[in-house]
Amino acid sequence: MSLPAVRAVDPEENLKEALLDRVFFAISDPVRREILSRLEEGPHLVSELAAPFDITLQAVSRHIQVLVRAGLVRQERSGRISQCSLEAGPIFEAALWLNRYSKYWQQQFDLLAASILDMDEKPQRKRRRKESKR
């Protein structure tokens, strides 16, 4: 009986996987996604980011900390004032990872396009048959 092959542990690969885990966890929450959307406009104070939400400032701060740990937000403090800005690099890494699977949904788009094309051609074939019978 042989033992299964043991994969060498690559510390850099482990760091990338941990970052992806944090990014996907961070963007899994709608409040955090909205915060990221607002930061696309430019830097915001934490109080500005919290304004549209019906949750406490402390709860918004916890969401921001999740985003900071994921590397998606940079937070700079000056006394009691805290300003946040978007860091898009980790989103790019997540997009690269997701793109590996695009071939699966691309196949579905190809099937959909073929079905639509077939649906468009059926009425035209019927019309041609009717015209040729005349």
Q: What is the pLDDT of residue 22?
A: 95
* Same domain membership, residue 117 and residue 75: no
* Same domain membership, residue 85 and residue 112: no
Strand order through the sheet with 81-86:
44-45, 81-86, 73-78
Domains of the chain: total: 2
**CATH for 20:** 1.10.10.10
- Return the closest-CA partner of residue 26 out of 67, 73, 58, 84: 67
Per-residue pLDDT of the chain (134 residues; tens, 9 = 90+): 555 555 556 777 788 889 999 999 999 999 999 999 999 999 999 999 999 999 999 999 999 999 999 999 999 999 989 999 999 999 998 999 888 887 777 777 778 888 888 787 766 666 666 666 65
* Same domain membership, residue 112 and residue 88: no
What length is written for the chain?
Answer: 134
- Residue 122, domain extent: 101-134
Q: Let me know if residue 6 belongs to a domain.
A: no
Q: Which helix (H) or strand (E) holds 44?
A: strand 44-45
Angle subtended by helix axes 30-39 and 57-69, to nearest 10: 80
Residue 30 has phi, psi (to 5 degrees) of -65, -30
Is the four-CA dihedral 20, 21, 27, 28 of positive or negative sign?
A: positive
Q: What is the pLDDT of residue 133?
A: 64
* Same domain membership, residue 105 and residue 120: yes
Contact 79, 11 (CB under 8 A): no
* Same domain membership, residue 22 and residue 55: yes
* Same domain membership, residue 95 and residue 113: no
Contacts of residue 113, Cβ cutoff 8 Å, sequence gap at least 6: none
Tokens linked to 27: 């963007």
* Same domain membership, residue 88 and residue 60: yes
Q: What is the pLDDT of residue 120?
A: 73
Q: What is the pLDDT of residue 16?
A: 84
